[in-house]
Amino acid sequence: MRPEKLVLASMALLFLGTASMAQDRPTGGIKGKVRVETGAPAGVTVVIRQNEREVNRVVTDKSGSFLVQRLPAGKYALTFRKPGLSVGTVENVEVKAGKTRSLGDRLILTIDEGSIAFIRGSVFTQDGRSIAGAKVELAKIQEDGSTKKIDGRVTNETGSFVFRLTPDTAKYRIMVKPGNSEPVSQDVEIDGAAVYRVALSVPAAPK
């Protein structure tokens, strides 16, 4: 074999050996499931950090599950973010070579009350008395004018209720059905994070 061919062959073997060692370097993974207080668990960004340096990031699927692979053995910290929800963190997650560390489904992201819309209301009679125990329904008004019920409440002892929503622009209908009286409704248009107040006056029940 000519000397130059021998050198090329040696270099090729050295390259293949190095690539094989890189591929065989022991790594592990992290998996888990994120739950949310409101909305869908999909689309939560999971940032993986090591010594304050971001090493990877993934996004949860429609069920809130995520999987991070090919992480060198060591300890990591995870940060969970989604608009409208509080930021979640998990520290000191140890990853071992050849294994996938499961965080289970214990992580719950609560609502970030600084970035949501509140609909606060009260139900009372025409003479100003609060109605406790009244059933209140929240429906979203669709583009075609139809409504879709999305939540429900029962007024407390002072006749009050509250709904918490994402700040996305949308129109909602609040409806109360007190006993034998006719239902009363009021439409509310949400256009950002704020408190929207409604008051529903219920006529006296027919005798």
Residue 110 has a pLDDT of 85
- The whole-angstrom separation of Cα 67 and Cα 122 is 45
User: Which tokens belong to 69?
Assistant: 């692979």
In the chain (207 residues long), the average pLDDT of successive 10-residue segments reads 47 46 71 90 95 93 96 95 88 95 91 83 91 93 94 94 89 86 90 92 72
Residue 84 has a pLDDT of 77
Question: What pTM did the predictor assign?
Answer: 0.53
Identify the structural domains of the chain with CATH numbers, from first to last.
Answer: 27-109 (2.60.40.10), 117-202 (2.60.40.1120)
Say which amino acid occupies 132.
Answer: A
Alpha-carbon Rg of the chain, whole angstroms?
28
Residue 19 has a pLDDT of 42
Residue 98 has a CB neighbour count (10 Å cut-off) of 9
Beta bridge partners of 29: 100
